[in-house]
Structure 1
Amino acid sequence: MKIQFSNKLALSIIFILIATHSFSQWSVLSSDPRPAHDKGEQYLYQVFTAQQWNASNFAKPESIKWHNDARYGMFIHFGLNSYVNKDMSWPIVYNRKAPDQGHGAYPDSTWQKIWPSLFKLEKFNADEWVKIAKDAGMKYIVVIAKHHDGFHMWDTKYSDFKITNTPFKRDYLKEVINACHKAGMPVGLYYSQRDWYHPDYAPIDTNTIKRIPNPPYYEALPGKKVIPGATHHKYIDYQFNVVRELLTKYGKIDIFWFDAVWWGGMFNADMWEAEKLTRMIRQLQPGILINNRTSLPGDFDTPEQRIGMYQKRSWESAMTLNGSWGYDPSHPIRSAKSLIKEMLTAAAGNGNVLLSWGAHFDGEWDPAQKDTLLKVGSWLKKYGTAYYGTRGGPWMPTKDYGSVHKGNKVYLYVFNWQNQKLTLPSLKDNAIIKASFINLNEKVVWSKEGTNLQFNSPNLPDASVTILELTMQKPIKEILEKSTWSLFDDPAYGEKILTKQIKTTDWKQNSYTIDFGNVKNTTGIGCYNNDGNISISISTDGKKWEAGGNAKEKTEEISFSTFMTGVYVPGKTIRYIRLQGEKPSSLKIEVYAK
């Protein structure tokens, strides 16, 4: 949907790169219009009243400044899953406990008994890991302490299911944290409240619910109230103990990264006594940052497997180096060019990238993954001044460009010069006094055309991104509003592959079918100037069809997503799209793929 916004929102929330159909999480006030406009995915937003928000706990603004300045961190996903080179927990654990559902591929006896008995980490070197992170240009590290499988990567006194009861014997987490401290690298701990191993974990009593197909995926049975299981209070006691242990045993911890996202009410703060728990964390570690995955607002939002939207409130996109939360050679490693574009686009939206990788089962860093990260690091050594310490704006990011500012400097990231130029609205009461390229040996040709600024394409644009440095008369105070947005502004949706104007006479028996000729990784369809009621179906072979969505409004933009390890990401294998229903008098469609 294309939506108009009032000028009152210009300096607070600007709508760009909406995280649709993803396992992302935005904590918002009830005055925020996003949930109402993003009708199909309201469960992505946890809405708080001002009273609820103000009653919660937050880090002080000065405590989060370093995180906003850092822009780029490392997310280490490593555990028992590396024995089979798969994602953590989701494809592994056969018995996922409610409210989660479904099954992994391995029985309890395999991942709980056999794999730990083989866990030796012969090639693990924490100092090497941290050095690679620094050489890759990363400014902080978040490491998995416990994932959904319940395996403790530290020497806890509250469970025997832990790393020190393997042949490795040592405290893995302690070694990583110590290496970070030694290198002056801020370090955070990932801790999942979900626990598919712990015998007392029971955030909902399954006798009180029935399953439903959409978030939160369960509802109370008639005459029942959803309550915790009988043993869950014991799990809460355990959780307070291990969190306290983590924050008193290893020195300074900079971030605590929870992972039981609200997801339309699937999880809630009462399941963890989250207000009490997070206040304890801040008492034990003054200045620590806490994300928003306890169903409290927290200090920053957490979109996942895609770059988020522009907003003043801090956010961090959790991304993967190869599409997997762990080492998985079946997934191709992404290019340094694509990673750099992702990082710059996030910065232009005023957010961070937390990039995940995973080691081999023996603790060795995969050479190909290391090589890619070091290429990014080499680029950042040259041009990091245009990235680190910046804030998003003054111009809103698109697929073609983004902007950031720092003091009286503005940096333009241009990925694609449409029509050999870039046209932007002028800033009020703040003129450009100097313009130069920081990664090209050419002069910037630019002019003021009415109320716009026009920058001409260089003769030889950089193959990845052309960066312009604009020296302004004074520091940036004005963030320019984007008056309209489209779902497909989000780079996660790829490129437009089809535009078609469909006439009434093109329909056959109230049906119109699009055939791409071969399968495409199709991410979505936009229906414009629609005055009908259209149902959309999709197929790979033209025989078996599944529902793709409905277009009832004049403008409807519908995403096609695939569920991947706990997250919906844009992209579905499609060859045919079929429209059925009332014939619009005139319909324009646009299809996107990547």
Structure 2
Amino acid sequence: MTPPLGNKSDRLQWFHGLGFGLFIHWSMDSQLGSVIGHSMAGASEDYLARYIEVLPTTFSPGKFDPDEWAVLAKLAGMRYVVFTTKHHSGFCMFHTGTTDFSISNTPFERDITAEVIEAFRRQGIAIGLYFSPDDFHFLHGKRRPVHRGVKPEECEGLLDHNQAQVRELLTNYGKVDIVFFDGPSDGLREVCWETDPDTVVTRGAIATPEQRLPGTQSAEPWEACITMGTGWQYKPTNEHYKSGTRLIELLIETRAKGGNLLLNVGPKPNGELPLEQEALLREIALWNFVNGEAIYRVRPWRIPCEGDVWFTAAEEGDAVYAFVEGDSPWPLGERRELSLFSIRAGEQATVQILGQADDLVAADGPAVEWGQEEDRLQISVARMQRLYNNRRWPNPVVLKITSANVGLVPPTVITGEAVTDTASSSCLFQARLADLGEGDAVETGFQYRLRKLLTEASDEWRETDCESLRSTGEYSIGIGQLEPGATYEFRAVAHNRSVTVYGDNVTFRVPAPPTGDAAR
């Protein structure tokens, strides 16, 4: 009996080991600085005609140098790339026999996809291709309304058209490791696996949250897709970028929770990366050059974090990596103290700062001192490696702890549902304490905030009152004064001594009050 088609488990494990990838959103409408592809949806006939017939005639990225992109990605620690071969507009950034709406019919003419693949392959970076089944040009040619989510059975010829293009991509450019389908993928995933069973299909086959991270760790592979600013494609004005520190923190959190981070760039229409995006990649490159060991070939630790300290664990061996984040830069030579309850040092344990020599001495003693004090691992470290001229390091410092054992066993909480009351704008949060961990009692409660994507500044979590539980089971807390019509997220919280754990983030919407006749 033929096994069902799907991602192979060993290939998913390989994919997880890559850890960090570069997403590249680029098409000929980058000339306008618009959202990629989407401007065709809801557009007038005049706009569509000029988009299809005129805009390609001026696309000629004379400064396109994919080797520069690939070298920078390698420095930044990216182990795979995903390039937009065709976005929702249907414009193909590759040579194709299926349509004239492609890079072949621009002044540039050259096969951009081929050159990107060859450049990244030269740097040893795994090749991934983005493909949108939502082909607005094809829909327009069929005189159908242009919008996303059209299923193949709703538009004659669409599936055949997409399958032909996917086969071109999988057979004309050598081995393609990863395919990302941004739309209905039935009938397309199968083409990938039939062509090469080792192909990893990400979106369309595994979880790929966009502009957000999940609240808890997962044993299943997943990939977060994140922009540096607010747009996927080049946005020349009205753009606001995250800091390099924030992007590094997102990478750390993603790996601590068992996922991959696919970080996006949007090249300019001339082929260059925007200066701001290049600068952020170089900041990540320095951090990765020092700390990359803690990101690749790792697995989640027993808990993702303890306060402002996040964890990963080596796939092989007994090392745990502790990422020390903070609100202020760490001056050279300054000593900071950590108390960790979730890690217990073994008899042969060592503690070191990644990138820093082990024998350095600060003004007040050895740069790294530590000791196991009952159930607390006490660490005192001074950062001695000079990475910036001003001797102040703004990004997370990483400790490698060998012979690390599980320390305090934390409780386990599972977030339930939010039951809203339209009349009072109140809500009942529900959860379950599934395991007490170590201890006779656990302090349980909830946190909540307005739900925002990572393109916006997040609100601080608001805390409910806590309840002490001495046995597992359901618990709930009611809150009021929520904003009518707003979307929130909440999560269960459990405190056991100095360790706090969380359930997954669950989204809910507060109903808006009825208006008009419905209110009478």
Give TM-score scaled by structure 1 length.
0.62
Which residue type is aligned with residue 313 of structure 1?
Answer: E
Q: Given that residues 88 and 147 in structure 1 are in contact (C-alpha distance below 8 angstroms), is that contact kept between their aligned partners in structure 2? A: yes
Contact 2:413 2:493 in 1 (8 A): no
Equivalence for 1:379:
287
Contact 1:439 1:466 (8 Å CA) reproduced: no
Task: Return the match for 1:232 from 155, 179, 187.
Answer: 155
- Equivalent in the alignment of 2:121: 181
Per the alignment, residue 396 of structure 2 pairs with 465
Q: Does 1:483 align with 2:483?
A: no
Following superposition of structure 1 onto structure 2, how do residues 117-196 of structure 1 map, counting pairs within 5 Å? 117-196=57-136
Structure 1 residues 402 and 471: CA distance shift in structure 2, 3 A: same
Alignment pair present for 1:455 and 2:379: yes
| 1:303 corresponds to | 209
CA positional deviation for 1:114: 2.1
The residue matched to 1:178 in structure 2 has which SS? Answer: helix
SS in 2 for 1:181: helix
Match of 1:314 among 202, 221, 235: 221
Letter in 2 for 1:425: S
- Aligned amino acid, residue 83 of structure 2: V
Residues 333-384 of structure 1 show CA distances to partners (whole Å, capped at 9, x for unaligned) of: 3222222111111111121111101111111222232122112112211221
Matches within 5 A, 1:85-484: 85-90=33-38, 92-95=39-42, 107-199=47-139, 232-260=155-183, 272-274=185-187, 277-293=188-204, 298=205, 300-308=206-214, 309-329=216-236, 330-397=238-305, 400-406=308-314, 407-416=317-326, 420-426=337-343, 433-438=349-354, 443-456=367-380, 458=382, 463-472=394-403, 483-484=412-413
Q: Note the C-alpha offset of 1:147.
A: 0.8
- Given that residues 205 and 228 in structure 1 are in contact (C-alpha distance below 8 angstroms), is that contact kept between their aligned partners in structure 2? no
Contact 2:152 2:158 in 1 (8 A): no
Q: Tell me if the contact between 1:526 and 1:558 (Cα under 8 Å) persists in the aligned partners.
A: no
Q: Displacement of 1:81 after TM fit?
A: 2.7
- Matched residue SS, 1:446: strand
Deviation by residue 1:30-88 (Cα, 9 ceiling, x = unmatched)? xxxxxxxxxxxxxxxxxxxxxxxx97533333323432222111111001231122331
Structure 2 distance, partners of 1:387, 1:57, is: 30
CA distance in structure 2 between the partners assigned to 1:412 and 1:437 by the alignment: 10
Matches of 2:174 and 2:383 in 1, distance apart?
53
Corresponding residue number in structure 1 for 2:483: 537
CA distance in 1, matches of 2:132, 2:400: 42
CA distance in 2, matches of 1:425, 1:328: 43
SS at 2:101 equivalent? coil
| Aligned twin of 2:518 | none
**Aligned partners of 1:372 and 1:417: how far apart in 2?**
19
Q: Residue 188 of structure 1: CA displacement?
A: 0.5
- The answer to whether the aligner puts 1:70 opposite 2:70 as a matched pair is no
Shift of residue 169, structure 1, vs aligned partner: 1.1
Contact 2:343 2:406 (C-alpha < 8 Å) held by counterparts: no
Q: Deviation per CA, 1:129-168: give whole Å up to 9, x if none.
A: 2122122221111100111111111111111111111111
User: What per-residue deviation string (whole Å, max 9, x for no partner) do you get for residues 394-442 of structure 1?
Assistant: 3323661211111221111121499953332345x96662122225655
Q: Tell which has more relative contact order, 1 or 2 (C-alpha 8 A, sep 6+).
A: 1
Q: CA deviation at 1:190?
A: 0.2
| Counterpart position of 2:419 | none
CA distance in 1, matches of 2:115, 2:191: 25
Aligned to 1:569: none
Encode CA deviations 1:524-581: one digit per residue, 9 max, x unaligned: 655557876746226xxxxxxx545699x999988699xxxxxxxxxxxxxxx9x99x
- Shift of residue 252 of structure 1? 0.8
Matched letter for residue 354 of structure 2: I
Q: Map Cα deviations across residues 194-213 of structure 1 (whole Å, 9 max, x no partner).
A: 222213899x999xxxxxxx
- Does the 8 A contact of 1:394 with 1:478 survive in 2? no
Instruction: Provide the aligned C-alpha RMSD in A.
Output: 4.2
**What code does the residue aligned with 1:150 have?**
G
Q: Deviations over 1:111-136 (max 9, x none)?
A: 22221111111111222221221222
Q: 142-151 vs 522-531, which deviates more?
A: 522-531
- Return the letter of the residue paired with 1:318: C
- Measured in 1, the distance between the counterparts of 2:274 and 2:377 equals 46
Count of aligned residue pairs for this structure pair: 426
- Distance, in Å, in 2 between the alignment partners of 1:290 and 1:279 is 10
Write the distance in 2 (CA, Å) between the matches of 1:351 and 1:193. Answer: 25
Q: Distance in 1 between matches of 2:346 and 2:68?
A: 46
Partner of 1:33: none
Contact 2:258/2:300 (8 A) holds in 1 = yes
Sequence identity (%)? 25
Give 3-state SS (helix, strand or coil) of 1:154's partner. Answer: coil
Question: In the aligned structure 2, how far is the partner of 1:380 from the partner of 1:532?
Answer: 44
1:230/1:332 CA distance change after superposition, 3 Å: closer
Q: Which runs of 5+ in 2 are unaligned?
A: 329-335, 361-365, 385-391, 417-456, 467-475, 495-502, 514-520
- Aligned mates of 1:425, 1:479 — CA distance in 2: 5
SS of aligned partner of 2:248: helix
The more displaced of 358-367 and 301-310 is: 301-310
1:438 to 1:104, Cα distance in 2 relative to 1, 3 A: farther
